[in-house]
Structure 1
Amino acid sequence: MKYFKYILFSTILTFALFSCSSDEIEDVEDEVEDEVVVVIDDTDFTATDWTSETHSKDADPNFDEVFEDNTVKRLDFVITEARWQTMLDDMTNLYGEFGASSGGPGEPGGGGATVDIDEDPIFVPGEVFYEGMQWYRAGLRFKGNSSLQSSWQAGILKLSFKLDFDEFEDDYPQIKNQRFYGFKKLSLKNNYDDKSMLREKVATDVFRNAGLAASHTAFYTLYVDHGNGPEYFGLYTMVEEVDDTVIETQFSDDNGNLYKPDGYAATFASGSYDEDEYVKKTNEDDADFSDVSNLLAIINDGTRTTDPTTWRTNLDATLDTDVFLKYLAVNTVVQNWDTYGRMTHNYFLYNNPDTEKLTWIPWDNNEALQEGKMGGSHALDFSGLNTSEWPLIGYLYEDEVYKEKYDTYVQEVIDDAFNETTIQSLYTSYASLIEPYATSEVSGYTFLNNSSEFQAAVSQLKSHVTARKLAAEDYLN
């Protein structure tokens, strides 16, 4: 493998230089300059670990291998020192100096304000190692919004990553259509601002157990070698990408429009329409946005009050309202504030070709399972919600037919997907599984001030599920 050949060559060169005078060193450097270029040229390699099952596009996604619930698996990244520095320099250009507003690991961001940056960090090619096998020149980049900025500004290098296994196939023909057990894209979430490191995993489990389309998740430790040997970056949550295998495997047809709205238009408030903010993740070259424009027009149409039956008929033909109301019940029972209703992001809409209806898909749940920030999670009856600002919640809840369905789903959530006994047991099981990896995170790569904070956070989650059962029962009664 070229990476290790480079290390071996560098070692031999170092020993040679120790036995030379300064003039001789210069001569040696001149003599080996061309050879060094040959050795570190990473376009000349053979993908010796490649198999159809593990690397090929022809393999079906292997969920049992990649998203195993009851284990913690390990990933290793190897990124050249020069490319790693390029990634860090790019982050500095985007978000300022690393650690510039550090308030300590217990205070992510250190109070520094985050800013809206309409630009993703850069991809670089890197090697991914798993269970003794190598994936070659995979695209690796940092990912996230406020969580990425806050971690960087706090001087915490445990940053989230996005992986795209054939991002650089044009540069490296050997990796054309490279997959990781059938997956092209994956996210490694750093469990930002979550000292239990369970919120992303458990919240997504609840959505999926409620029968909603949502990502699979699993626990992984990450080690990164960027020139000094493998360094422990901490415990992460692997998350399935919606625009990759979620729509491919959880819908019978993945050719519909997939949107990730972000901005004022994501509220669907009257007058908010903006195609640039209905960000397409599929069919990007197709200029047809009629599905989302129809939804905005119908949800705000005057028939809502003058002819509710007609309004519901039109809305049901455009939005899968049953899915949305079930999602809304789950999201509100578990208290997930960092999404629609408070924030203008963190959800997908998929136009399911089977129904020709927009279907709601939750995303980014590390802030769930708590009252939250920015005004906190909404009450189960949405008291205090500005209905015209968030009409997909406000107008549906005001309609007696939709409210009755929502109430039914609230009862189902506490009986099943967020059942107190089941979730308490799940917290105990997951906490026992990940504790050795969570509490062994090292300074500069953790959001924990000390190991006791982990168990305290788990205890808070257990208290939370009990409180939410009582709140739901009180609401329904």
Structure 2
Amino acid sequence: MKLYYLTLFAFLLLAFSACREDNLETTEPDDGDDTEVVEVVDTADYSDWTEATHGSDTEPNYSIVFNQSEVLRIDIKISSSNWSSMQSNLSSVIKSSTSSGADLSSDPNFYECSVTFNDTEWYHVGVRYKGNSSLKSTYNSGIKKYSFKLDFDEFEDEYPAIKNQRFYGFKQLNLNNNYLDYSLMREKVGADLFRQFGLAASQTAFCVVYVNNGSTTQYYGVYALVEEVDDTVIDTQFANSTGNLYKPDGDAASFASGTYDTDEFYLKTNEDSANYSDVKSLYTIINSSERTSDVEAWKTNLESVFNVDGFLKWLAANTVIQNWDTYGNMTHNYYLYSNPDDGLLTWIPWDNNEAFQSGKQSGALPFSMSSVSSSWPLIKYLIAQPEYEAIYEGYLQQFIDEVFIPADMISTYSTYYDLLKEYAYAEESGYTFIYSDSYFDSGVSTLKSHVTSRNSAVTSYLK
């Protein structure tokens, strides 16, 4: 009998230890209920928690999180069981897409991890893989350098002690993997240039990522740390942050006639009160017959719902830097913010890792927009108006005169080269898109040549 109880005790002890691995204790379902009840056991000591680092009442600390003078280090630690589930979920999401190049049917799931930065730990953080075609391509290539999204209060319902946990004032952050970018700079430089030109765009910084998956710690290489638009970009770059923020994706994101679909205008704010009247108005006006029957009325109506000037400014800068993976070629990679202060939908660029290169797939748009069809009415119909075309061409000139200046850009690229070289050369096989040190060197050299050639191209076009 003693042996029986000892055996039973050992079994129960092993079961309890297994549950604690992920801070979870599973109990039996109530009588008559076949739903599993999960009780969270929180073992964190929260000794690193301070209001300045973790609290929700602090303002976003850009000088620390987006430090421009050094390469930051972010460590992600995840249990072996969560890591295994994360890989299985990614495999399922990838396989759910119907054909090569097709969009993923859903985002991967969040899993619990801890994050360490500057010797400080953040607790029960949500981490998931992010991306669409780049995520799929990375997965299919066998390279493990995926992009990540971090959400610092994703698991606050399970762990009330971390309610509204922030990372120096930021709720979410993106770790972008610089997919197929030998220079490791394009994502960061693109966003920085848009902001320097007076457009709303995410703050960025360079960082390196290490992942401990419960058994080993792996260096994942150089990443671009990118601010989340629906977190702090709206709060800090607009005077009023209460408007609707959309992330269009799919045919409806083109605004072409016959494509309107609220399911493809993903609302990131005010979800409970959505009526989509703002994007519906833009769709209706851009495709209105007034465009040909009464052009002045059409322009007046368009300017009452859409920040036309801001769009033309973005179009000019985006075309100069040859960003092909965006509107005009692809129905994604931008946000629309319905600014309550002026009632206008404002264009916010997103995802710049495919910029600063020519001859990529369908290629970047020509300065004249001559190849753009009515499938992209926000470009086609605006540039067809002489007044708007003149504004656009003025912004082409202003961008190369004030922002995309060869001497300044070459200096920036050289500074970033010196900053990143050690970390780029240290990237490891299976966790890098750089196949030798010379790829990084040539990637930076290409950027330097690119800025000079594009300035000449703009000057030649505007003669």
Select which of 267, 273, 276 maps to 2:263. Answer: 276
Quick one: distance in 2 between partners of 1:151 and 1:72? 24
2:32 alignment partner in structure 1: none
Quick one: distance in 2 between partners of 1:352 and 1:371? 34
1:50 aligns with 2:83: no
Deviation at 1:160, TM superposition (A): 0.2
Could you list the runs of 5+ residues in structure 2 that have no partner in the other structure? 1-5, 24-40
SS in 2 for 1:367: coil
1:453 alignment partner in structure 2: 439
Select which of 201, 207, 218 maps to 2:194. Answer: 207
1:408 aligns with 2:389: no
Quick one: distance in 1 between partners of 2:72 and 2:53? 16
Could you list the runs of 5+ residues in structure 1 that have no partner in the other structure? 1-24, 98-111
Deviation at 1:115, TM superposition (A): 2.8
SS in 1 for 2:208: strand
SS in 1 for 2:113: strand
Point out 4+ residue stretches in structure 1 off by more than 6 angstroms.
25-28
**CA 1:211–1:133: 2 relative to 1, 3 Å:** same
Quick one: distance in 2 between partners of 1:232 and 1:465? 32
Q: Deviations 1:244-270 (Å, cap 9, x if unpaired)?
A: 000011011111010001111111111
SS in 1 for 2:355: coil
1:356 aligns with 2:343: yes
2:36 alignment partner in structure 1: none
Deviation at 1:476, TM superposition (A): 0.8
* Contact map agreement 2:337 2:346 (CA 8 A) in 1: yes
2:35 alignment partner in structure 1: none
* Contact map agreement 1:165 1:180 (CA 8 A) in 2: yes
1:33 alignment partner in structure 2: 14
SS in 2 for 1:413: helix
* Contact map agreement 1:70 1:430 (CA 8 A) in 2: no
Structure 2 letter corresponding to 1:208 = R
* Contact map agreement 1:268 1:392 (CA 8 A) in 2: yes
Deviation at 1:285, TM superposition (A): 2.0
Structure 2 letter corresponding to 1:46 = D
* Contact map agreement 2:93 2:105 (CA 8 A) in 1: no
TM-score (normalised: structure 1): 0.89
Deviation at 1:301, TM superposition (A): 1.5
RMSD across aligned positions (CA): 1.7
SS in 1 for 2:188: helix
* Contact map agreement 2:44 2:123 (CA 8 A) in 1: no
1:474 alignment partner in structure 2: 460
TM-score (normalised: structure 2): 0.92
* Contact map agreement 2:191 2:201 (CA 8 A) in 1: yes
* Contact map agreement 2:112 2:124 (CA 8 A) in 1: yes
Q: For structure 1, which segment, 60-69 or 28-37, has the greater mean C-alpha deviation from structure 2 after superposition? A: 28-37
Quick one: distance in 1 between partners of 2:330 and 2:69? 32
1:14 alignment partner in structure 2: none
For residues 250-261 of structure 1, what are the structure 2 equivalents within 5 Å? 250-261=237-248
Quick one: distance in 2 between partners of 1:337 and 1:37? 49
* Contact map agreement 1:46 1:174 (CA 8 A) in 2: no
SS in 2 for 1:318: coil
Quick one: distance in 2 between partners of 1:38 and 1:403? 64
1:139 aligns with 2:126: yes
Quick one: distance in 2 between partners of 1:312 and 1:31? 73
1:166 aligns with 2:153: yes
2:448 alignment partner in structure 1: 462
SS in 1 for 2:457: helix
2:34 alignment partner in structure 1: none
